[in-house]
Structure 1
Amino acid sequence: MPLRFLLAAILMCACGHGAWAEGLDAPAGALSCSGCHPASANVQTPAPGIVGRNADDLVASLLAFKNGKTPATVMDRVAKGFTDDEIRAIASWYAARKD
């Protein structure tokens, strides 16, 4: 059994650019966004894409949801779960992505 774990760890290190590895540097909470928003700029979903968008625009949108200035079905509750610093970190991370 330990050999299997060792081999799996080696394989994961060798495949550093796999889909699973893309989120390793993500700030806390960022990966949960892809439950509704597309994880790639090339995918269309009912929720708007956030990959590659301007970080300041994303922060403004999230703060507007958090403060109740923008009506929402879910995003207002999601945004309230993050501090302003976490919102800025998540927005910066998504803005920097190019996929």
Structure 2
Amino acid sequence: MKSPVLILTALLAANLHLSAQAQTVQDLNIRSLAATCANCHGTNGKAQDGSAVVSLAGMPKDYIVAQMAAFKNGTRSATVMHQLAKGYSDAQIEQIAGYFAAQKK
């Protein structure tokens, strides 16, 4: 018969592994959402020097959320961003904005 301490230790280790794994899945999901912006805004939100498109990396989260809301509701004009913004939920926009705000400029 196994010791209750060994069983408890194994259960705690399994729980920690699942928690870490769940965090990784969420992080990967957010990174994949942010990656959809790379075609125009560059990898990790860093646009090429001289580009007419702004870099998103390091912008304040609240600013990005506000701009996406303006694109989504049509109060800010754009070529394609108003269409793209409508494809994201408000929660996804918050996640994307948080991701880019955390990137170095």
Q: Kindly indicate whether residue 55 of structure 2 is the aligned counterpart of residue 49 of structure 1.
A: yes
Q: TM-score, normalised by structure 1?
A: 0.68
String of CA shifts for 1:27-70, please: whole Å, max 9, x gaps: 14210101001235473222101001000000000010000000
CA contact (8 A) 1:63 1:79 kept: yes
The answer for unaligned runs of 5 or more in structure 2 is 1-26
2:41 to 17, 33, 37: 37
CA contact (8 A) 2:41 2:56 kept: yes
Count of aligned positions: 76
Q: Identity across aligned pairs (percent)?
A: 36
Structure 2 CA distance for partners of 1:63 and 1:38, relative to 1, 3 Å: same
String of CA shifts for 1:61-97, please: whole Å, max 9, x gaps: 0010000000111000000000001000000000001
2:92 to 81, 86, 89: 86
The answer for unaligned runs of 5 or more in structure 1 is 1-23
Match of 1:61 in 2: 67
CA contact (8 A) 1:41 1:52 kept: no
Q: TM-score, normalised by structure 2?
A: 0.65
Asked which structure has the greater CA Rg, the reply is: 2
Q: What's the RMSD between the two structures over aligned residues? A: 1.9
Structure with greater helix share of residues: 2
SS of residue in 2 equivalent to 1:73: coil
Task: For 2:47 and 2:35, locate their aligned partners in 1 and report how far apart those are by CA, in whole Å.
Answer: 17
1:84 maps to a residue whose letter is: D
Q: CA deviation at 1:98?
A: 1.3
